[in-house]
Amino acid sequence: MTEQGAVQPRLRRSYLAVPGSSQKMLQRAASLPADDVFLDLEDSVASHAKTDESREKVVRALIENECAARTLAVRVNSVATPWCFQDPAALTNETIEASAPR
């Protein structure tokens, strides 16, 4: 039993990491029953694919795909990389709420 107004913790049984450079995987991920999906611009994207094209694919996926996951997030590159400012800048527009990594 919980107190009125208390926040119930959510079970997060499955996380799905989706490479931001793969249009096919981005489209497929929207229909999968994972609890959390994160569109990845960091580790799952090869250095040569960390381009504006990959960022645009992620932005389109966020806007156009109806995702079945309870939580949808984007993992951006670390501030210690040359891509650290380009990722959040590409994600920031009037329809997407972005937050920076710690």
DSSP 8-state class, residue 21: T
Task: Please indicate, yes or no, if residue 7 is contained in any of the structural domains.
Answer: no
* Amino acid in the structure at residue 49: A
Residue 94's pLDDT band (cuts 50, 70, 90)? very low
Q: Residue 72: beta bridge partners?
A: 37
Within 10 angstroms of residue 9's Cβ, the number of other Cβ atoms is 6
Residue 52's pLDDT band (cuts 50, 70, 90)? very high
Mean pLDDT for the chain overall? 84
Contact, 21 vs 52, CB < 8 A? no
The pTM for the full model equals 0.78
Task: Please indicate, yes or no, if residue 101 is contained in any of the structural domains.
Answer: no
Q: What is the pLDDT of residues 27-46, one digit of tens each?
A: 998 888 888 889 999 999 99
Task: Please indicate, yes or no, if residue 6 is contained in any of the structural domains.
Answer: no
If one counts the domains in the chain, the total is: 1
Q: How far is the C-alpha of 34 from the C-alpha of 95, rounded, in Å?
A: 23
